[in-house]
Structure 1
């Protein structure tokens, strides 16, 4: 993973949303207010559409592999998001429902620690890793209404010594187990995606050294599908998989990196455990060579992973602006 030091990044105006709302406040501070010119299309009374579910067992079993692979392929093209149900599909991969409940509970306990304890893990100047609010990149930037803890975990030599290694032992051990099991699962999924795309053997998997998230069941996830924001529902204890920008570039636009956001729930707190699987820092990100021919030219520029990572974190919240920046325009072709 590339270095996460950025000279243009500044600390947020408050240390913690949790601390900010311990006492009544007259109004939400302006940096946290995002004017939404395009609210979700569905009303509160409309049942939420459910993300497509991919059955890992069906991908593995020979008699169902073909149809489930086609389902995975079409879901990645049309939705860019899918879910897998831990209780039925992932138990053989070690991510059981009981383990997820334990991990969520331990993460919840971390956020209940006194502020001075949490601030031992705070983001340091010019860094994006650590505990706190999203870092500031520009004067007019909007901030997420929530606290976050971001850290690089793999390769192990890139870990900040004052973050994961210093977490409470039970939480640290649970995260290590979670990382190991999800890495196995994601590499398996990448293999199936490569097969569906008809890539050369190893063409996708060899790029990666390690977007998957688990949510505590509080509604709030929205995706921008067909130009409109749609609130979505998911199965209890599901893992939600986001295709992401890298796979849209690698698939030369066959797969979709869909814009998504989390909204505030007025009654309940919302916890997301998100894990990002990125190509190794030495990788060159570009459309897979086996997909490119005179009839199917590359739609995206080539970029080194380190530059991609720095550019991505240097941009303020602005939809899919970086992916648009990566597209080859007609005059460049």
Structure 2
């Protein structure tokens, strides 16, 4: 099943590039060598540090949506989805127990999820020199490293990542796909195919709650893409000083995240407070991206979120981003604007995406590009 480790893979010159990022130190290796040190370039300012106190008392149950009910058009579950996206912008989808054995349109088999987790953990356990074989290129985001680093004085995130474009397959740059552990390519494909089916079912449900034909949003993603970012958050001796991932909203249509079942780290901004998202066994976390916010004229908001670290255990998360084709023009849908004030203008998605990637993660500051200025 696995790829031959001696196989020569050439770069796919037809695959698009997205945005450059400055090279930065490998955080995992830095922690391995000096586990008690926190270099100044990772230390957050006082205001951010005040917002990083223990907030477990704020933890609220994120809305849980049953995807098997959504797929049947269940009105009550659609109403729950509508409310979850208005009030939270985040929700968790439960997997039908029957789908632990079968990969169908509304679920990912439990063993597929676990195999992906195990393979990713094995990759990040490799020696640095092996991981560096897939180092991200200077002009793009695909590969192993960090993205969104745009200045030498930028405060850095306490994490490393493996970033790949999975679909369409001709967008893949296979020279950045790890060939160790054995069979990793096939594992990524199996996991991503399951996520793709979940994403398609969710887009149908979003079409329904947005007052459109159920396949309307799927039609706008016919030539779209699916990217994957596997985040590795090493332990930190002073987690109160750093962030694993800076506050941001996603420039995607939707993002589907697989967390570890036993380690918290994801937090979302809700009512101006940072709320920890407690993992739910075998559930996928879904969040509304900027594209849905623009199409809905702000009815459904892309939520700001971040990742924190801890002293005891490294954490891995798997984020899959469903995005339109570069040439799709996104703007508020007439029937969702009605008599309300128009917030967003028409933008070409490829321009919006690259504009957001060429700046550091800074909450929702990048959405200003698409807003109508007065």
Fold match, TM over 0.5?
A: yes
2:359 aligned residue: 315
Structure having the larger proportion of residues in strand: 2
Structure having the larger proportion of residues in helix: 1
1:49 aligned residue: 60
1:22 counterpart SS class: helix
2:308 aligned residue: 263
2:258 counterpart SS class: strand
2:206 aligned residue: 193
Q: In structure 2, what is the Cα distance between the partners aligned to 1:41 and 1:116?
A: 34
TM-score (norm 1): 0.89
1:205 aligned residue: 218
Alignment of 1:1-333 (within 5 A): 3-6=16-19, 9-12=21-24, 14=25, 16-24=26-34, 27-35=37-45, 37=47, 39-40=50-51, 43=54, 46=57, 48-61=59-72, 65-86=74-95, 88=97, 91=100, 92=104, 93-134=106-147, 136-164=149-177, 166=179, 168-200=181-213, 202-208=215-221, 209-210=224-225, 211-217=255-261, 218-293=263-338, 295-329=339-373, 331=374
Displacement after TM superposition at 1:4 (Å)? 2.5
Question: Alignment RMSD, CA only?
Answer: 2.4
Displacement after TM superposition at 1:272 (Å)? 0.4
Unpaired runs of 5+ in structure 1? Answer: none
Q: In structure 2, what is the Cα distance between the partners aligned to 1:112 and 1:150?
A: 17
How many residue pairs get matched? 324
Change beyond 3 A, Cα 1:203–1:99:
closer
Is residue 2–residue 309 contact of structure 1 (8 Å, CA) maintained in 2? no
Is residue 222–residue 231 contact of structure 1 (8 Å, CA) maintained in 2? yes
Displacement after TM superposition at 1:54 (Å)? 0.1
Displacement after TM superposition at 1:40 (Å)? 4.8
Displacement after TM superposition at 1:3 (Å)? 2.9
Q: In structure 1, what is the Cα distance between the partners aligned to 2:98 and 2:67?
A: 6
Q: In structure 2, what is the Cα distance between the partners aligned to 1:165 and 1:220?
A: 26
Instruction: Report Cα offsets for 1:178-198 as digits up to 9, x if no partner.
Output: 111111111111111111110
Q: In structure 1, what is the Cα distance between the partners aligned to 2:15 and 2:352?
A: 9
Is residue 123–residue 132 contact of structure 1 (8 Å, CA) maintained in 2? yes
TM-score (norm 2): 0.80
